[in-house]
Structure 1
Amino acid sequence: MFARGPVNAFAEVGRRARGEVVRLDLGPFRPYLVTHPEHVQHVMRDNWTNYPRVGKVYGTMQRLSGTTLATEGPDWESARKALQPMFTARRVTSLNDELADVITERVDRLDGAARSGQPIDAAKTMADIVIAMTTRLFFGEKSSLENGERLTRAFDRAVKLGGLRTIMPLVPDSVPLPGDRAFANAVKTVDEVVYPLIRKARAASDDGHDVISALCRARDGSEVGDRQVRDDLVTAFMAATDTTTQTLTWLWPVLHTHLRVAARLYDEIDRVVGTGPVLSSHIPELRYTKMVLQEVLRLYPSGWILPRTAVVSEDIGGVPIDAGSTVLICSYATHRLEEFWDRPLDFDPERFLPEIDTRRHRYAYFPFGGGPHQCIGQHLFYIEALLTVATILSRFRPRMRNSGPFTPFPGVVLRPKQKIELDLVPV
């Protein structure tokens, strides 16, 4: 089952176990799969200090993201403290119009493809839009868009290539695996882009409101301090681009196969936005659009699997977990449990009507993680995604050129394995 498709295999195991803790026999790697919302809450919030983000499963990706935001301890605490003010709802809302202008400029570039009938690559197009927004937010005027694109291409290569070692954590580093050299080259590219930007931000000595300026103010200018800024930036930039890009990419095949949802979504955007441009005042009115995005995140959560390592032995749900064991939290599986979701495989945005959503267990749905490590970028995600969807659909009706099926690729980030091509039909 895992050989055929690891992502859906996790969900199937969780379904068969009805959310109980399961020990997986994956050869020498025998992690515990945790899917029940109460167990997820225990690991991620109630007893989170016993389940740090350490261990062999993190080794490969830490070569890319470093050891600040992606791990534990004082470096993580100081990085989160420095970044938190940059991603509050108030701060992100203040950027609505600026982000909307960036999106409009990128969507304008799609007119040529629409007129010529040339299909677009959904993943690449969504990434282009998101990268432009993220580059502006993180670097202000200190970086060109080309740098942001170069960074994201390197991230994308590393995430794809690093996925194999993530799901095979017991393979020694001395044993070469496909993609190891290309992964190292991707990390080198990241460093070649980021370190000059850090030096440029430090030399500016201003009170810039971009993320890199805030991090430089929070870290000293030593070699260690620059490495910390580098790690903070890489982790946060990846998180800010990956979730939005992949959610927007999964949206189009979903709308293709759920015509009633698509019709209602188009209806709301026509009513609220009209022919555009999209304004910050429109965002609170895009209620159904937000519900659609929430449902996409339920079925295709970007951070689909979250490894933790037990420090002290204890029981979870009556199952003994030995110290040193790996615990896998799988939102992809939890979001599909019949015990907590009616018709879990059906795409139904109305699950997220306020009166229904409040009755659900807090950890039945956790696309942004939970506890002290909950992603600080979820406000940014909803602003970016709502603005992007509303801008595209106020101009075009995307039509799928290839009909799938589209299966999830078992990398660090959940993405479609197959290429998604769209024809853009002007409204």
Structure 2
Amino acid sequence: MPDGSFAAWSRDRLGVARRGAEECGDVWQLEPGVYVAAAAGPCEAVLRRAQDFPKAPSPLFPPLKRSSGAPTPEERGYAHAARMRGLRAQAVAARIGEIAPRTARFADQLPTGQDVEILPPVRHALAEIGVHYLFGEDAPTLLPYAFRLFLAREVLVRPSRWVWPRWVPTPGRRFRTRQQVAFTDALRPVVHRRRSSGRLGDDMLGQMLRPSPHYGLLPEEAVLDTLPGITLATFETPSRAAGWILLHLALYPEAAGRVASEAALLPADPAATTSTHLASLRYTQALVSEVLRLYPPSWLLTRRVGRQTQLADYTIDAGSTVLICPYTAHRDAREFAEPDEFRPERWLDDSGSPAKPGVFLSFGTGPHGCEGTSLAMAMLTLLTAQTARRHHLSEPPGPGPGYQVTTLEGLATAGLRLRATLRD
């Protein structure tokens, strides 16, 4: 480990990650049994080699205990495939006209002439979009429960001096289970009504309720158990990303002006926005990609080693932990020229068309890449465009940044305050 101990890592994760990559190479050892993949090649290798580096089941919303038993791994795999029918790029493209009005509403309702803590209204707007995308006309019923899932997550990730085994029913875990049960209990009658009426819906839930020629009809519990996590994911991680994006609109007014110029060509009625309009926002998408490169919301991913294997110069024993670090992989000069510079243009070729300058791991890759990538990019691009179209953003005056960088459960701008003024 670079100059210091695990305590140094706890104090300054980003700084130690940078020093580790610079001083120790593409893969380095944080402590016995814990390794950091810091460069693009090892990061991609770990993410793609799922047999050697399996992804542990998410501990955030484990299957609920029921007398009928939890869904089998095979049923959970089928549920994942069913979700993907509603989250693939073509499905998102067909519903841009539902996403755009809510991003425009966020921009319209943003207070002007005052310093506003920006993440709460961003989170609310993205939650409305995400929950509506998943559950359609039933979203108003389920939205309050989705916010309680977010509160449960916040309780679980608060720093603690004790690390309890996962089987210990701490107050935070009991609170999480109560919110998970409440969400499931609210969703169950929705599933019953849709199946009994035959009106399954065109949203993601409707896709999950449709029988597949490969595995037939999903059991109800397989549908219910897989939805709390994806519901929270539709807005929690994108909200972190949106904080960094809006901050960069404030820090780089010329770039914000280019986004505003593109956005001015969007339909006056946001509901008329199509995937063609979204595709035309090339610079806006480049700006979003560049912010996600510099500040990936999931800046550190964890994998357990399933069997003894080789990674770079290390022989890694089964049971060890590998931390994949997109933050340092994205700042590798072998992948990106002037990697610490904010340059949205790097994502465009000379004609202004999309380009791929280097590895991009903000949504992961391989068999466990983020299933909501297309939805997240659509939400973030349209939110960025509609905000810049209506407002100039600026940081409040004063010494130092008006936010705190947090790294414990993702890279975020805690307490970020911005001021919006209307564009002429």
- TM score, norm. by length of structure 2: 0.83
Match in the other structure for 1:393: 388
- 1:78 Cα deviation after fit: 1.2
Selected match of 1:12 from 13, 19, 38: 19
Selected match of 1:189 from 179, 190, 193: 179
Structure 1, residues 46-71: CA drift from partner, whole Å, max 9, x if none?
A: x22111112xxx674244899xxxxx
Question: Residues of 2 paired with 1:236 and 1:161: CA distance?
Answer: 17
Say whether 1:136 aligns with 2:136.
Answer: no
Selected match of 1:243 from 237, 240, 247: 237
Counterpart contact for 2:146–2:232, Cα < 8 Å? no
Match in the other structure for 1:69: none
Q: Secondary structure at the match of 2:79?
A: helix
Q: Secondary structure at the match of 1:49?
A: coil
Residues 90, 359 of structure 1: alpha-carbon distance in 2 compared, 3 angstrom cutoff:
closer
Match in the other structure for 2:192: 202
Match in the other structure for 2:99: 99
Residues 175, 338 of structure 1: alpha-carbon distance in 2 compared, 3 angstrom cutoff:
farther
- 1:410 Cα deviation after fit: 2.0
Selected match of 1:319 from 314, 318, 326: 314
Counterpart contact for 1:409–1:417, Cα < 8 Å? yes
- Number of aligned residue pairs: 401
Question: Which moves more between the two structures, 92-101 or 389-398?
Answer: 389-398
- 1:173 Cα deviation after fit: 4.8
Counterpart contact for 2:135–2:204, Cα < 8 Å? yes
Say whether 1:90 aligns with 2:90.
Answer: yes
Question: Residues of 1 paired with 2:355 and 2:52: CA distance?
Answer: 29
Say whether 1:22 aligns with 2:21.
Answer: no
- 1:215 Cα deviation after fit: 2.8
Say whether 1:255 aligns with 2:260.
Answer: no
Question: Residues of 1 paired with 2:206 and 2:267: CA distance?
Answer: 37
Residues 173, 138 of structure 1: alpha-carbon distance in 2 compared, 3 angstrom cutoff:
closer
Question: Residues of 1 paired with 2:151 and 2:63: CA distance?
Answer: 11
- 1:150 Cα deviation after fit: 4.0
Question: Residues of 2 paired with 1:118 and 1:386: CA distance?
Answer: 25
- 1:292 Cα deviation after fit: 0.3
- 1:192 Cα deviation after fit: 0.6
**Structure in which a larger fraction of residues adopt helix:** 1
- 1:320 Cα deviation after fit: 0.7
Counterpart contact for 1:159–1:412, Cα < 8 Å? no
Say whether 1:2 aligns with 2:23.
Answer: no
Task: Name the amino acid aligned to 2:389.
Answer: S
Q: Secondary structure at the match of 1:323?
A: coil
Question: Residues of 1 paired with 2:73 and 2:221: CA distance?
Answer: 16
Q: Secondary structure at the match of 2:298?
A: coil
Q: Secondary structure at the match of 1:91?
A: helix
- 1:311 Cα deviation after fit: 1.4
Say whether 1:37 aligns with 2:44.
Answer: no
Structure 1, residues 128-166: CA drift from partner, whole Å, max 9, x if none?
A: 211111121111112316x3244134325414632648x
Question: Residues of 1 paired with 2:248 and 2:305: CA distance?
Answer: 37
Task: Name the amino acid aligned to 2:55.
Answer: R
Residues 326, 84 of structure 1: alpha-carbon distance in 2 compared, 3 angstrom cutoff:
same
Q: Secondary structure at the match of 2:412?
A: strand
Counterpart contact for 1:202–1:216, Cα < 8 Å? no
Residues 338, 418 of structure 1: alpha-carbon distance in 2 compared, 3 angstrom cutoff:
farther
- 1:199 Cα deviation after fit: 2.6
Match in the other structure for 2:282: 287
Say whether 1:404 aligns with 2:397.
Answer: no
Task: Name the amino acid aligned to 1:196.
Answer: A
Question: Residues of 1 paired with 2:15 and 2:73: CA distance?
Answer: 33
Task: Output the aligned Cα RMSD.
Answer: 3.4
Question: Residues of 1 paired with 2:91 and 2:364: CA distance?
Answer: 21
Structure 1, residues 359-388: CA drift from partner, whole Å, max 9, x if none?
A: 655xx3211111111112111122212222
Identical amino acids, percent of aligned pairs:
22
Structure 1, residues 193-231: CA drift from partner, whole Å, max 9, x if none?
A: 2322123222222221222233344699x9x94443233
Alignment of 1:137-176 (within 5 A): 137-144=133-140, 147-159=142-154, 161-162=156-157, 164=159, 171-173=164-166
Task: Name the amino acid aligned to 1:88.
Answer: R
Counterpart contact for 2:40–2:330, Cα < 8 Å? no
Structure 1 runs not aligned, ≥5 long:
67-71
Task: Name the amino acid aligned to 2:407.
Answer: P
Q: Secondary structure at the match of 2:139?
A: coil
Question: Which moves more between the two structures, 75-84 or 274-283?
Answer: 274-283
Match in the other structure for 1:352: 347
Question: Residues of 2 paired with 1:92 and 1:261: CA distance?
Answer: 27
- TM score, norm. by length of structure 1: 0.82
Alignment of 1:47-86 (within 5 A): 47-54=49-56, 60-63=59-62, 73-86=73-86
- 1:32 Cα deviation after fit: 0.7
Residues 405, 65 of structure 1: alpha-carbon distance in 2 compared, 3 angstrom cutoff:
farther
Task: Name the amino acid aligned to 2:413.
Answer: P
